[in-house]
C-alpha cells in the first residue's frame, strides 16, 4: 500500500500521531499546557521512541528503523529537550543521521514558552508563544535564524480548560489579511483530542482526523478523511511498564501491521 515515495510523506503524518499519542494531545508546538501535560504517567526523566517501519515482499515482513525521538523532562514534568532522528534505507543518505533536529524549550513565569531548533549545534529557527492576559487566547510567532526574520504567525483560541479550540495560521507577515489554514479541535471529557478539522484558504479542500481511545485513554483508532487516500489506522498495545505507560504500540492500516513504536522510559529517582 505504501511505496518508497509515499513513505517519506507518510512518516510525517505518523510522527504527528506519535506526538498526539505518546507526548501530548495535539500540535505540541502550540501551547505551554501541552508541553506540561506529557500524558506519560509518573515522574519521567527521559523517553526514547523508536519507530520501526514494516515492509512486505512476497508475504515476508521486513523491519526497518525509520525514526527515533528522544525526549528529556524536568522534575515538573515539562519537556526541556527533544531530538528527532530520521533514517533512510538508502546508504547514500545516511548523512541525515549526523544532523538530527534538536529542539530546546524554555518557559517563562506567565506560562509562555520559547522553542529553539538546532542542527549541528547551529540555531535554524525559533517559536515564541505568548498568552493573552485572560489566558483565553494566545499567539505563536515563528522566526528564521540567524537573521531573526518573522516567518509565520498562528493565532490561538483556548477553551476554559486551556485546550486549543481554534488555530489560524499565517504563512508569513504578508499573509496577515488572508490566513493560510484554519484548524478546529474537539475533545472528550478527559481532555483528549477527538476531532481535528483543517480548512485551507487557497483550496476548497477540508481535512478531518477522528481519534478514538480506550478506557485507559490510549489511542486505538485514527480515521482520516479529505486526504488523497483516506485511511483508518488501528493501534494495539502489547506491552506496558509498571507505571502503566505503554512500551510497544503497533499500528495497522487496512489490517496490516505497518509501524511498531518501541519506547524506553527512564524515571526520576
- Tell me the C-alpha distance between 211 and 186, whole Å: 10
Instruction: Output the CATH code of domain 4-267.
Output: 2.40.160.190
Element (H, E) at 14: helix 4-18
Confidence of residue 6 (pLDDT cuts 50, 70, 90): very low
Q: With b meaning 16 or more CB within 10 Å and e meaning fewer, what string describes 10-32?
A: bbeebbbbbbbbbbbbbbbbbbb
Could you report the per-residue pLDDT of 190-227, keeping only the tens digit for each?
Answer: 888 899 999 988 888 888 999 999 998 889 999 988 76
pTM of the predicted model as reported, rounded to 2 decimal places: 0.80
Could you report the per-residue pLDDT of 150-205, keeping only the tens digit for each?
Answer: 888 889 998 888 888 999 988 766 545 678 889 999 988 888 889 999 998 888 88
Q: How many contiguous H segments (helices) and E segments (strands) does the chain have?
A: 2, 16
Annotated domain spans of the chain: 4-267
Confidence of residue 33 (pLDDT cuts 50, 70, 90): very low
Question: Closest Cα partner for 40 from 251, 241, 255?
Answer: 241
- Tell me the C-alpha distance between 224 and 7, whole Å: 17
Confidence of residue 30 (pLDDT cuts 50, 70, 90): very low
What residue has cell string 478523511? 225
Query: DSSP per residue over 52-96, as a string?
Result: EEEEEETTEEEEEEEEEEEEEE-TTS-EEEEEEEE--S-GGGGGG
Look up residue 64 and give its three cell numbers: 526497518
For residue 260, how far is the Cα from the chain centroid?
Answer: 16
- Tell me the C-alpha distance between 116 and 101, whole Å: 10
Q: Say if CB 139 and CB 153 are below 8 A apart.
A: yes
Q: Say if CB 50 and CB 261 are below 8 A apart.
A: yes
- Tell me the C-alpha distance between 4 and 250, whole Å: 20
pLDDT at 5: 30
Amino acid at each position: 500500500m505504501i511505496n518508497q515515495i509515499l513513505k517519506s510523506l507518510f512518516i510525517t503524518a505518523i510522527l504527528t500521531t506519535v506526538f498526539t499519542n505518546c507526548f501530548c494531545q495535539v500540535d505540541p508546538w502550540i501551547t505551554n499546557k501541552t508541553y506540561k501535560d506529557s500524558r506519560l504517567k509518573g515522574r519521567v526523566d527521559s523517553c526514547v521512541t523508536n519507530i520501526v517501519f514494516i515492509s512486505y515482499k512476497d508475504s515476508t515482513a521486513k523491519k526497518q528503523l525509520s525514526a527515533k525521538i528522544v525526549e528529556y523532562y524536568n522534575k515538573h514534568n515539562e519537556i526541556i529537550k527533544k531530538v528527532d532522528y530520521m533514517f533512510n534505507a538508502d546508504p547514500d543518505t545516511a548523512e541525515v543521521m549526523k544532523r538530527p533536529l534538536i529542539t530546546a524549550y524554555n518557559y517563562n513565569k506567565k506560562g509562555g514558552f520559547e522553542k529553539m531548533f538546532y542542527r549541528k549545534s547551529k540555531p535554524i529557527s525559533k517559536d515564541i508563544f505568548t498568552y493573552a492576559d485572560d489566558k483565553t487566547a494566545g499567539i505563536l510567532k515563528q522566526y528564521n535564524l540567524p537573521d531573526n526574520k518573522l516567518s509565520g504567525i498562528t493565532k490561538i483560541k483556548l477553551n476554559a480548560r486551556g485546550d486549543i479550540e481554534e488555530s489560524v495560521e499565517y504563512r508569513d507577515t504578508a499573509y496577515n489579511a488572508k490566513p493560510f489554514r484554519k484548524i478546529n479541535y474537539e475533545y472528550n471529557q478527559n481532555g483528549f483530542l477527538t476531532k481535528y478539522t483543517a480548512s485551507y484558504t487557497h483550496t476548497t479542500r477540508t481535512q478531518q482526523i477522528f481519534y478514538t481511545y480506550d478506557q485507559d485513554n490510549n489511542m486505538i483508532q485514527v480515521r482520516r478523511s479529505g486526504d488523497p487516500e483516506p485511511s483508518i489506522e488501528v493501534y494495539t498495545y502489547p506491552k506496558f511498564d509498571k507505571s502503566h505507560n505503554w512500551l510497544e504500540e503497533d499500528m495497522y492500516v487496512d489490517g496490516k501491521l505497518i509501524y511498531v513504536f518501541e519506547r524506553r522510559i527512564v524515571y526520576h529517582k
